[in-house]
């Protein structure tokens, strides 16, 4: 019994590290999908990026990390800046890009 409790505790302790992590950026100036291609292309090529979602209306760029990898917020900001836009807010969320996409679209 004691061993089972310890095993369960260890399993629960490792859950956060297994959770999906994404960075959600709020970006000013992002009004045209043609012009915003740079964001998607540049961020998709980052080694730790698994998926990218762009929403013009909500000014949102969401990037999901590959399992076991960490996204670099500064590098993401630099890429968005190089694509020609301004990052006004950057937050790390324990959600997948698909979840963020569903949330954003549900709010429209």
Partner 1 sequence: MSRRFRNKVLACLGFLACALALPAFCGPMGFKESWMVMGDFSPHWQEAFVNYALTPRDALGASTLYMRSDDERKSRQLEDVTYTRLLKRWNLPQAQANIWFLGGLGYVTGNDFVGYKPMASPGVQVDYETTRVYASATARLYRADGINHDFTSARLGFSFYEVDYDETQPWLVFEARRMTGLTNRTEVTPMLRLIHNRYFLELGVSNSAQGRINFMYIF
- Cβ distance to partner 1 smaller for residue 69 or 105: 105
- Cβ distance to partner 1 smaller for residue 27 or 71: 27
Q: Give contact residues for partner 1 (rule: CB under 8 A).
A: 27-39, 41-42, 53-57, 59, 81-86, 88, 105
Sheet with strand 86-93: strands edge to edge: 49-55, 60-65, 22-28, 86-93
* Cβ neighbours for 28, distance < 8 A, ≥ 6 positions apart: 59, 85, 86, 87, 88
Q: How far is the CB of 77 from partner 1 (least distance, A)?
A: 13
- Cβ distance to partner 1 smaller for residue 28 or 92: 28
Largest CA distance in the chain: 60
């Amino acid at each position: 019994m004691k061993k089972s409790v310890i095993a369960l505790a260890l399993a629960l302790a490792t859950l956060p590290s297994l959770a999906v992590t994404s960075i959600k950026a709020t970006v000013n100036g992002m009004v045209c999908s043609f012009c915003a291609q740079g964001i998607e292309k540049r961020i998709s090529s980052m080694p730790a990026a698994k998926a990218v979602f762009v929403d013009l209306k909500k000014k949102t760029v969401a990037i999901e990390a590959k399992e076991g990898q960490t996204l670099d917020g500064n590098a993401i900001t630099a890429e968005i800046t190089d694509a020609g836009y301004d990052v006004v807010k950057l937050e790390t969320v324990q959600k997948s890009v698909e979840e963020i996409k569903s949330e954003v679209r549900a709010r429209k």
